[in-house]
């Protein structure tokens, strides 16, 4: 008789979404164009209602977001007043918690009379589709993995928000992109390969094709890991790799063997680097510049 063994997952779940190569943008852009045209035709010139909870007629945006990254992006685009539904981990205190991506409360979502529902997932959610359709809401699924995903997603998202009664969103999007461009225009001084870890026990790294790698290389840096994705390494791997610097993103004590891996260890608590959102676009380069400063100081001082 075989007993319950406690292993319930069929694969290792990494912190962040794995890389996807499917082009998701085209059908979304087409639908957006149609939606935007209809929305503009129906609600030209009306000011967006702010913080309204009761179903307001007209074009007031009521956004339900099932992704903390998307919530943050929406807020940075000027839509924080419009977010009425969120997950427990989204930062939008005025919004009602409607559950998580996997376990969303459909009645609560419907009761909020949303105009826009946002989620990040690689699977369909037919039940949510039905709720969206019956509320007359637009449901959009995004995938924010790499820098170009977020960059490319800002404009369409802003257009959606503008169509929903937040006209300032488009200008906000342009502003965010500008700030991002200016930030990554400043090159980093550390051009030797650097290892970026988001976990130390076991060591897990940002490989090529991840957003930290994208940002770092856009600023002239080099990643010690050449393989794609978020590989799990062993301590021996890291020591053998002998990167010029090890950067640990996150809190927690560093194990003693990190000192043997590299003469330079930098630990940075940077929530903007732990979530692929608009904040990562705008603040991420700044955090990486601070990392660069620490590395440079350590290397010259040592």
- Interface ranges with another protein (CB under 8 A): 1-9, 12-15, 68, 88-89, 100, 103, 199-202, 204, 225, 227-237, 239-241, 250-252, 255-257, 260, 274-275
What separation in angstroms does the CA of 43 have from each of 48, 55, 66, 173? 10, 16, 26, 21
Phi-psi region of 122 (alpha: psi -120 to 50; beta: other; left: phi over 0): alpha
| Separation between Cα atoms, residue 162 and residue 156, nearest integer Å | 10
Q: Are the CB atoms for 108 and 172 separated by under 8 Å?
A: no
Q: How far is the CB of 102 from another protein (least distance, A)?
A: 9
Mark 189-228 as b/e (b = at least 16 C-beta within 10 Å).
ebeebbbbbbbbeebbbbbebbbbbbbbebbebbbbbeee
The residue among 35 and 235 lying less far from another protein, judged by its C-beta, is 235
The residue among 18 and 296 lying less far from another protein, judged by its C-beta, is 18
Q: How far is the CB of 22 from another protein (least distance, A)?
A: 18
* Closest to 173 in 3D by CA, of 162, 164, 184, 183: 162
Please give the biggest Cα pair distance in the chain: 70
Q: Are strands 116-120 and 203-205 parallel, antiparallel or unpaired?
A: unpaired
The residue among 245 and 274 lying less far from another protein, judged by its C-beta, is 274
The residue among 100 and 296 lying less far from another protein, judged by its C-beta, is 100
Q: Are the CB atoms for 84 and 106 separated by under 8 Å?
A: no
Q: How far is the CB of 65 from another protein (least distance, A)?
A: 14
The residue among 101 and 168 lying less far from another protein, judged by its C-beta, is 101
The residue among 13 and 23 lying less far from another protein, judged by its C-beta, is 13
The residue among 6 and 45 lying less far from another protein, judged by its C-beta, is 6
Q: Are the CB atoms for 196 and 205 separated by under 8 Å?
A: yes
Q: How far is the CB of 239 from another protein (least distance, A)?
A: 6
Q: How far is the CB of 243 from another protein (least distance, A)?
A: 11
Q: How far is the CB of 160 from another protein (least distance, A)?
A: 24
Q: How far is the CB of 81 from another protein (least distance, A)?
A: 24
| Separation between Cα atoms, residue 116 and residue 95, nearest integer Å | 14
The residue among 54 and 253 lying less far from another protein, judged by its C-beta, is 253
What separation in angstroms does the CA of 239 have from each of 17, 228, 252, 261, 263? 27, 20, 20, 4, 11
- How does DSSP assign 78-121, residue by residue? IIGGGEEEE-TTSS-TTSEE-B-SSSB-HHHHHHT--SEEEEE-
Q: How far is the CB of 45 from another protein (least distance, A)?
A: 40
């Amino acid at each position: 008789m075989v007993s319950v063994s406690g292993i319930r997952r069929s694969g290792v779940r990494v912190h962040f979404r794995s890389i996807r190569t499917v082009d998701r943008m085209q059908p979304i852009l087409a639908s957006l164009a149609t939606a935007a045209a209809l929305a503009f035709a129906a609600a030209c010139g009306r000011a967006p209602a702010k913080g309204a909870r009761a179903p307001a007629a007209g074009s007031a945006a009521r956004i339900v977001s099932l992704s903390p990254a998307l919530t943050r992006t929406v807020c940075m685009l000027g839509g924080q007043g419009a977010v009425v539904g969120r997950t427990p981990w989204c930062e939008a205190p005025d919004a009602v918690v409607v559950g998580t991506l996997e376990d969303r409360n459909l009645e609560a979502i419907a009761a909020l009379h949303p105009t826009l529902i946002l989620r990040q997932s690689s699977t369909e959610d037919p039940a949510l589709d039905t709720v969206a359709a019956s509320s007359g809401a637009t449901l959009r699924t995004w995938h924010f993995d790499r820098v170009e995903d977020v960059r490319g997603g800002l404009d369409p998202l802003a257009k959606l928000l503008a169509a929903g009664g937040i006209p300032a969103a488009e200008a906000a999007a342009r502003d965010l992109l500008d700030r991002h461009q200016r930030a990554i225009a400043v090159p980093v001084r550390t051009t030797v390969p650097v290892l970026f870890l988001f976990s130390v026990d076991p060591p897990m790294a940002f490989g090529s094709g991840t957003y930290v790698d994208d940002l770092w290389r856009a600023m002239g840096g080099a990643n010690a890991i050449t393989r794609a994705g978020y590989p799990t390494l062993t301590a021996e791997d890291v020591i053998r790799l002998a990167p010029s610097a090890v950067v640990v993103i996150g809190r927690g004590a560093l194990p003693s063997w990190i000192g043997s891996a590299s003469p330079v260890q930098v630990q940075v608590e940077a929530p903007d680097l732990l979530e692929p959102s608009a904040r990562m676009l705008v603040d991420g380069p700044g955090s990486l510049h601070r990392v660069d400063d620490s590395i440079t100081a350590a290397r010259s001082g040592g």
